Structure 1
């Protein structure tokens, strides 16, 4: 079997049913082999940023690694933002780029470069493949590493002449790996939880990623513990409609410490170091609190804060075993659930009242009113892909997130991810409607992804919250220095001259578009679009900084 045929054979065996890419000369041996094979479709993007984002969304939707083909050094560089996002969000990707022909690499030919060095900082592991007989083994290893906790993208540099070789190679069989079982020392963990007077749980994205939401709900109910989502969570890790849900933790150590101040025991599950954004002094956890931590990655245990007990094991298996050990040991659980439910209902009523009050009047819409209008239009099985930054915070407050995988975000922070991720989400799960809620700045970074949506007729509704500014940066500056003293002094943070018209951008790419004129109009548009069979862009003028 030729090296390039071995690649295709392994892709089929690893469950890869499409390749995401943007080709160039050094990838021609691979793309030509795809054409000859005919059974693995190639999803084309016109820029590598949206290409990697599409693969990210697809891998999350299908719960298996996605495969990406980038073009040499320049294409890899264009895709680095997406790879950084995938690394932070623990998305399993296998990424390749074609290297120039090795026979003239010493002459420093055009487009060549240190591909492995370029990729190293953005991915979990790299391979510089130099021998045809090594390629099948290293590709198998890449798929295994991409899925092994902590999951993430793995990169291989493939010289174009290596793929063209006529040298026969052997393909190793796919190894079957048993999932992680329950952690050890669970008697101690159960005793710690049972002894708590004010238990709290932090649900990290590992819970949603590993499909352990139901198991976490059962444990929280058994203990009567309030549950906080980790800061800027990527997915649904606990139902936001559940009485024990206490909201999302803020993205600063001081804010986290304040939110958890009343707890005497905190159980942290599947989260990476709390993902703080802005620096604030002090530790993330209040003094005197006892800490239990569970993760599939042993390196996370006690990594940035001391723990009383660190548990390494499968999340669902461990939570199920702990719930069994706690049965009947926490008689106060029912009272705690009732008390937390009253607080949960009051918080929800307050935010919904504010959203309704903000919904009067025509465009530009208040951001909370716009978020509420989106939430009101979504069917129960919808998937929301969110990259709207400040409006996204408000959206999280009004969405009813009950079904796993119904919310997709990235904690990576690299802008331009949302359009491609929404396309990949719909390709990976075609039976669920997908609505992408995007900021105007975020949309500009990934606008080329609309071309792929149009080319493949992917039925995604792209909702652009258009405030004509980088609002999150203004809010950050104002947190350091009050807005009244700044007197509108913001350098490079305004996009309103000229005001961007995203309906024209959509038209350029061949996508239908409409501008929302009121909250009711926005709800009406979305209610119709989620049952359509093609892409739609909705430009939503919202109020700016004020």
Structure 2
């Protein structure tokens, strides 16, 4: 069997279609038998699409990059996939090994380039081992903590024939504590007077939203959500207090009254430096599969396994009034209006200035909210398109600066008939940076390099989307209609927000 067919058969057998990618000459041999390929107009877009696709589906997705140049183009979103703990299998072609000595065009140290940001990196040496390499990439990607893996395919190997080494994928993503460990943790929870729960994005990743609610109500204690959660973490019921701000000074004030803080599937993500270290770690227990920045006591377990085992030991406590921190929400009235018209939609959020408002209204249940913790802009455009492949009711809520990084994502939506919808908040500036500058006294908030003006309407039309400017609430009904990709441009004020 030809190596390219071995590769294709593995993808089909293990339900790994579609592949997201942007191919080049080095990939043509490995793609000659591939059946389902979603083309993007830039390598990086394919990685962001695969990242969000994997998060929503809960299974590995596959990316195909164009050797060293394509990997280089995609490094920002490869690091995002790593930070997002997304099980993405990244593949790339490699130059023909018979002339690598001469450093031909498109060749290079692909494994070295990605190795710091993937859990496994391997270059195939023989055609018959392709299923083994892909199986290992699959299993490692799905071993907690989830994360991207990488397999390189030299061109000459993909033209060879061999009898494949048959293998089956049987990944197991759960990681449970012993019953004694669970009982010991719950004895401490039950004996503590003032307990707070902090739920995080792993709750959604492991389908544990109902488990989280049942556990919280069995204890009757305040519930917070981790700072800058990348996915939904808890239903917004009467126990929910607020999302923790991504700054230790604020977290310290909120968590000061509690003598035990239980972080479940969550981390202590921070953004601005506030001159304080965390003062709650000696009273904290972290239960997670991720290797977060935990200084307190830690246990390696997925949240679903822990919550289902722990709930039977939970004893209800007398309700205490929780500490709250004033939330600095931007464009809240606008996002609330959007949510009223688009209930039931999953929001892909890259409206950085307004992210707090988007989380407040949309992150209220399983698979209702996604963003990226990686940092590079442009993730949201691509992610909204791939999530819309799995759930028709998907809305990308994107800032105008972020939107301009990967607007080519709209072309992919148009080409494949994906009903991705977008609301672009246009404030003509990097307002989170302007806010940071004003708050911390850098004095560049009114400089021209933090301002811009784009004709988003023509750009979106050029990539095949239907476009409107927001004039009335009926425009929110318009974006809800039909299966074509649509963009609604909503002009908002350009006043510097108070974010820090």
Question: How would you bin the TM-score normalised by the shorter chain?
Answer: over 0.9
Deviation digits for residues 435-480 of structure 1, max 9, x if unmatched?
1000111111111111101111211211111111111111111221
Structure-1 separation of matches of 2:235 and 2:280: 26
2:153 pairs, out of 134, 152, 158, with: 158
Out of 222, 230, 233, the residue aligned to residue 226 of structure 1 is: 222
Within the alignment, does 1:545 sit opposite 2:499 as a pair? Answer: no
Paired with 1:102 and 1:205, the residues of 2 have a C-alpha distance of: 42
> 1:440 — aligned with what?
400
Which of the numbers 236, 258, 261 marks the counterpart of 1:266? 261
> Does the residue aligned with 1:20 lie in a helix, a strand or coil?
strand
Distance (whole Å) between structure 2 residues aligned to residue 426 and residue 183 of structure 1: 39
In structure 2, C-alpha distance between the alignment counterparts of 1:490 and 1:545, rounded to whole Å? 14
Matched, 1:330 2:326: no
Aligned residue for 2:495, secondary structure, equals coil
Q: Which residue of 2 aligns with 1:492?
A: 449
1:367 aligns with 2:367: no
Report the CA distance between 1:330 and its aligned residue.
2.9
Q: In the alignment, is the contact (CA less than 8 A) between 1:94 and 1:153 conserved in 2?
A: yes
Displacement of 1:176 in angstroms is 5.2
CA offset at residue 402 of structure 1? 2.9
Give the Cα separation in 2 of the matches to 1:24 and 1:368. Answer: 44
Note the residue ranges of structure 2 that are not aligned, 5 or more in a row.
Answer: none
User: Counterpart in 1 of 2:104?
Assistant: 109
1:56-205 residue pairs with structure 2 within 5 A? 56-175=51-170, 177=172, 179-184=174-179, 185-205=181-201
Is 1:317 aligned to residue 305 of structure 2?
Answer: yes
Give the equivalent residue in structure 2 for 1:4.
Answer: 4
Counterpart of 1:409 (choices 368, 371, 383) is: 371
Report the CA distance shift for 1:212/1:178 in structure 2 as closer, same or farther (over 3 A). closer
> Structure 2 residue aligned with 1:280, among 226, 249, 274?
274
Q: What is the alpha-carbon distance in structure 2 between the residues aligned to residue 81 and residue 176 of structure 1?
A: 27
Structure 2 residue matching 1:376: 3-state secondary structure: helix
Distance 1:390 1:177 in 2: 38
SS at match of 1:124: coil
* Alpha carbons 2:248, 2:277 under 8 Å: kept: yes
Structure 2 CA distance, aligned partners of 1:193 and 1:180?
A: 21
Q: 1:251 aligns with which of 246, 252, 263?
A: 246
Other structure's SS at 1:33 match: coil
Cα distance in structure 1, aligned partners of 2:24 and 2:207 = 38
Q: Distance in 2 between matches of 1:290 and 1:212?
A: 24
Alpha-carbon deviation of 1:178?
Answer: 7.2
1:84-118 per-residue CA deviation (whole Å, 9 max, x = no partner) reads 11111111110101011111111111121111111
Query: Does the 8 Å CA contact 1:208/1:237 hold for their aligned counterparts?
Result: yes
Q: Secondary structure at the match of 2:257?
A: coil
| Contact persistence 1:2–1:169 (CA under 8 A) | no
Summarize the Cα distance change of 1:53–1:312 in structure 2 as closer, same or farther, 3 Å threshold. same
1:429 corresponds to:
391
TM superposition shift of 1:269: 1.2
Deviations 1:64-99 (A, max 9, x none): 111111101111111112211111111111010101
Contact 2:4 / 2:32 at 8 angstroms: preserved in 1?
Answer: no
Cα RMSD of the aligned pairs, angstroms, is 2.2
- Aligned 8 A contact 1:461 1:526 in 2: no
**1:530 paired residue number:** 480
Please name the residue that 1:377 is paired with: 341
Structure 2 residue 353 is matched with structure 1 residue 387: no
Deviation at 1:490, TM superposition (A): 3.1
Q: State how far apart, in whole Å, the 1-side matches of 2:486 and 2:156 are.
A: 42
Deviation at 1:489, TM superposition (A): 4.3
Instruction: Tell me how many residue pairs correspond in the alignment.
Output: 495
Equivalent-residue separation in structure 2 for 1:319 and 1:66 (angstroms) = 28
1:59–1:92: 8 Å Cα contact kept in structure 2?
yes
Pairwise CA distance, 1:491: 5.8
Whole-angstrom distance in 2 between the partners of 1:178 and 1:443: 34
Structure 2 length as normaliser, TM-score?
A: 0.93
Kindly provide the CA deviation profile for residues 119-176 of structure 1, in whole angstroms up to 9, marking residues without a partner as x.
1233222112223233221111000011111111101111111111123332223335
Asked if the contact 1:258–1:286 (Cα under 8 Å) also holds between the matched residues in 2, the reply is no
Provide closer, same or farther for how the CA distance between residues 371 and 32 of structure 1 changes in structure 2, counting only shifts above 3 A.
same
CA distance in 2, matches of 1:400, 1:409: 12
1:103 to 1:487, Cα distance in 2 relative to 1, 3 A: closer
Change (3 A) 1:426 1:542: same
> Taking structure 1 as reference, are residues 414 and 183 closer, same or farther at Cα in structure 2, changes over 3 Å only?
farther
Structure 1 stretch displaced more, 523-532 or 65-74: 523-532
